Amino acid sequence: MKKLYLLILCTLFSLSASSIETVDYTQGLSVWFDTPNNLDGQAIWLRASGTGANPDKAWESRSLPIGNGSLGANIMGSISAERITLNEKTLWKGGPNTAKGAEYYWDVNKQSAGVLKEIRQAFLDGDSQKAGYLTQENFNGLGAYEEKDETPFRFGAFTTMGELYVETGLSKINMSNYRRILSLDSAMAVVQFDKDGIRYQRKYFISYPDSVMVMKFTADKGGKQNLVLSYCPNNEAKSHLEADGNDGLVYTGVLNNNGMKFAFRIKAIHKGGTLKAENDRIIVKDADEVVFLLTADTDYKMNFAPDFKDPKAYVGNDPSQTTLAMMDNALKKGYDELYRNHEADYTALFNRVRFEINLEIGTPNLPTYKRLANYKKGVPDYQLEQLYYQFGRYLLIASSRPGNMPANLQGLWHNNTDGPWRVDYHNNINIQMNYWPACPTNLSECTWPLIDFIRSLVKPGEKTAQAYFNARGWTASISANIFGFTAPLSSKSMAWNLNPTAGPWLATHIWEYYDYTRDTKFLKEIGYDLIKSSAQFAVDHLWHKPDGTYTAAPSTSPEHGPVDEGVTFAHAVVREILLDAIQASKVLGTDAKERKQWENVLAKLVPYRIGRYGQLLEWSTDIDDPKDEHRHVNHLFGLHPGHTISPVTTPELAQAARVVLEHRGDGATGWSMGWKLNQWARLQDGNHAYKLYGNLLKNGTLDNLWDTHAPFQIDGNFGGTAGITEMLLQSHMGFIQLLPALPDAWASGSISGICAKGNFEVSISWKEGQLEKAIIHSKSGIPCNVRYGDKTLKFKTVKGKKYEITLKGDRLTVL
C-alpha cells in the first residue's frame, strides 16, 4: 500500500511538473531543422552599405521568423543559450527629427521642371546624349542613400532593436532528438530536445490581438529551468536598462541619429524555484516552467498630412507607456488565454486557403533543409512546393497587419543596425511584389499597411510631382522610408534613380484592393482620391509631342538601360493607372469631364511595339539585345502585374512578351525568378511557369525557405506564392479563368479559398490534369463569367450563394 501511495505521488508530481505536449510539430505545415545553431553570430552589428552580405549566415538561412506585423523575432535554437533577434518595424533612423531639423529633411526635391523643355527638345533634335546628361544633372535629388555620404543621414535605415539571450546552463553533450520547428498551422516556433533523459521544450509566438511576444520554457521533469535572461542593445542608441519589479526588466532607448524613442519590457512568470531581476538580468533557478512576456514599441506616429516645418511630425506616444499598457493586459490574461487569442486570430486568416498536390509524393519527415537539398538534385517533393506556397502566406500575415507599416525588403526581420538597401521600401517592384499574393490568397486585410503607406506618401509626393514635372497629383521615386520620402536620391545613375511612375504603380494596388473586395465605401472615402490624383500626375508628366502622341520623357526602364524619350514600362504603368481611374470614376459616377481627358490620353499614348527579333520593345528604339539576361523585365509590366497584354485578348503582343522571357532566360535573382514565374503563368504556359518555380526553389531559396537575392530579400517569397496562385486561377481580364497554367507535373490536386476579382471566393479540384469541379462563392452578387480552356460560361449570381462548376462533355455547367 505504501509503494502504491508513493507511485501515485510520483505520478502526480510528474504530471504537475510537465506541460510538454506530445504534439509532433514537424507534421503538417512546418519548416524545421534537426540541428541547433551555434552562437557565432551573437552581437554582430553590421554597418553594411549597398548589397553588403550578412556575416551572420545562421541567422539569414537557419533562423525561424515570427511576427505580428509590428514586432518580429528570429529564433535561433541554440542549446547553451537561446539567441533571439528583435525588431520593431518603425524603428528607423532618419526623418525630419534628425539634427538639422525638418527644413533640412524636406529639402530634397530639385526644382527641375523648367529643364523638361530642353530635354525634350534634345530628343527632337536626335541628341539623346544631351538629353541624358540634362536628366542626370537635374532629375536626381539632394538626399544621400548611404550614411557615409551625408551628416546627419536624412533618408535613414531600418535598424534592429537588439538581441535577447537566455542562458540555459545546458551543453550539447548527451543531447539528442533535437528539433527547431516553425509551425505554419499555429504561427508558433518550437525548440525541443532530449538531454540526460529529460525532454526540454521552448515555445514562441507573437500575438497580434494582444501585442505581446510569449516565450515558454518547460521540461518533462520538475526543477530543470535554470535560466539567465540578458539583453544586447542596438549600439547606435543611448540606452537605459533597469529592473521592473522583482520579475522583469524595462529597456528604454533613443536613437543617436534622430532621437527616436523606443522601449521594450520583459516580465517572467515562473512555477516552482526562484526568480529575481538584478544587475540587468532575470535569473531563474530550479523552476518547473518559465513564461517570458515581451512588449515593444517606438514613438513613431503615422502621418498622412505632415507639417513640413515640424521636426516632430512623426513623433507620437511615449513607448514606455504604451509597452506598459500592453504588458498589463498580457499579465492579466496569462499564457493560455494569450495563446488562444493568438491562435484564433491567426488561423482565421491562414486557414482560409488549403492547397494539395499529388499527395502521395513528398518527404515531410525529413528536415526542410534536407528536403530542399534533395529537391535541388531533382527529387520530386510536391509537399515541399505546397509548403513554400503557404510559407509565403504565413510571412505576409506575420509581417503585415493593419495599423502598422507595410512589409519592407526583409518583411520585418533584420539583425543589423543597417543593411542591404537600407531594408527600405523599394518602389520599383519590391514592395509591390510583397503584396501580389494578398488579395488572391484571401488575405485582403494584410493589404491595409500598404494602403496606409501610400496615403502617407501623397502630401510629400505632391511636392515631388510639382518640383520635377510641374504636375498635379502625387508620385514617389525608387526608394521610400517611413517618413514620407518621395524624392529621387542624390545619385546621378539614372538607370536606377529615375522612376517617376513608381507612384502610379503603387496606386494601382488601391484599385486592385477594390476590385477584389468590391468595397465601394472604401473606394469612395479613401481609394478614389489616391487613384485620381495619381492619374492626374500620370497625365501631366507625359510629353505631348508635336505629332500628337503622348510619351514619358525622360524615362528609364528601372535598373536597366539609358535615359529614353519613352520606355515601354512607363507607358504600361500609365495605361494601368488611367484604366483604373476611368473604371473607378464610372463606379462612383463622378468626374465625367476628367474621365474624357484620361480616355483621350490613353488613346494617344505611344502603343506597344514589336522589335526586329519579334520581341516587345523595351525602349523607344529597337536596341534590345537578345543575349541580355538582365533580372528586370520591366517592359512586360502590361503582361504582369498589369492587364493590357494577354494571350486571350492580345495574342500577338503576348507572343512578343514570350520572346522577351526566352531571351532573358530562366535564371536570375530570387525575386526576378518570382516575377518571371508570374509572367509565364500569365502566358498560360504551365510547364514553363513550373520550371521557374523549380528554379526559384533550387537557386533562390535559403534553408529556412527565405528568398535570397542574394542577400536575403523577402519579395521572392511573396512573388512565388502569387505565381502559384496565377497558375491555378486568373481573373485580371474580366473573367475567372480556371487552371490557366496547370503544369503536367501537378496531375491531381486541389486548392480552396483563393479569390478572384469581383469578390468571388473559388475552390478548384482536378484529376489527371483536367478540371474536376470548381466552387464559386459570390460575395457581392454580381454576374460571373467563367473560362476553362476554350470553354466559357456566364451566369447571374446571388450574394452569399455558392455555385458548382463542372465539365460535361464539351461545355461548362453550373449548379
Query: What ranges do the domains of the chain cover?
Result: 2-38+57-94+156-352, 424-607, 609-727, 749-814
Intra-chain end-to-end CA distance of the chain, in Å: 70
Pick one of 1.10.1240.10, 1.50.10.10, 1.20.1280.50, 3.65.10.10 as the CATH number of 424-607.
1.50.10.10
Neighbours of 226 (CB within 10 A): 16
Strand order in the sheet with 188-195: 30-33, 175-183, 188-195, 198-207, 212-219, 289-298, 261-271, 248-255, 237-243
For residues 486 and 522, what is the distance between their CA atoms, to the nearest angstrom?
Answer: 25
Question: What's 744's DSSP letter?
Answer: T
Quote the pLDDT of residue 59.
Answer: 95
Quote the pLDDT of residue 43.
Answer: 66
For residues 339 and 323, what is the distance between their CA atoms, to the nearest angstrom?
Answer: 19
Question: What's 607's DSSP letter?
Answer: P
Quote the pLDDT of residue 365.
Answer: 87
Quote the pLDDT of residue 536.
Answer: 98
Q: Which residue has the cell 495574342?
A: 651
Residue 545 three-state SS: coil
Q: What would the DSSP string read from start to end of 219-233?
A: ESSTT-EEEEEEEE-
Residue 40 three-state SS: coil
Contact 87, 414 (CB under 8 A): yes
Residues making up the chain, counted from first to last:
815
The whole-model pTM stands at 0.96
Contact 770, 807 (CB under 8 A): yes
Report the candidate in 507, 392, 389 with the shortest Cα–Cα distance to residue 458.
Answer: 507
Query: Into which CATH architecture does domain 2-38+57-94+156-352 fall?
Result: Distorted Sandwich (2.70)
Quote the pLDDT of residue 50.
Answer: 45
Query: Cα dist. 100→44, 111, 150, 732 in Å?
Result: 30, 21, 12, 47
Strands 237-243 vs 225-232: parallel, antiparallel or unpaired: unpaired
What is the number of alpha carbons within 13 Å of residue 121 lying toward its C-beta? Answer: 5
Contact 140, 200 (CB under 8 A): no
In the predicted model, residues of the chain with pLDDT beneath 70 are: 1-19, 22, 43-52, 362
Quote the pLDDT of residue 752.
Answer: 98
Which H/E stretch holds residue 44? none
Strands 784-788 vs 736-738: parallel, antiparallel or unpaired: parallel
Question: What's 185's DSSP letter?
Answer: T
The type of residue at 184 is L
Q: Where are the beta strands (DSSP E) in 171-302?
A: 175-183, 188-195, 198-207, 212-219, 225-232, 237-243, 248-255, 261-271, 274-278, 281-287, 289-298
Q: Which residue has the cell 545613375?
A: 493
Burial class (CB in 10 A: 0-12, 13-18, 19+), 795: middle
Contact 579, 645 (CB under 8 A): no
Query: Cα dist. 757→136, 722, 751, 783 in Å?
Result: 41, 14, 17, 12
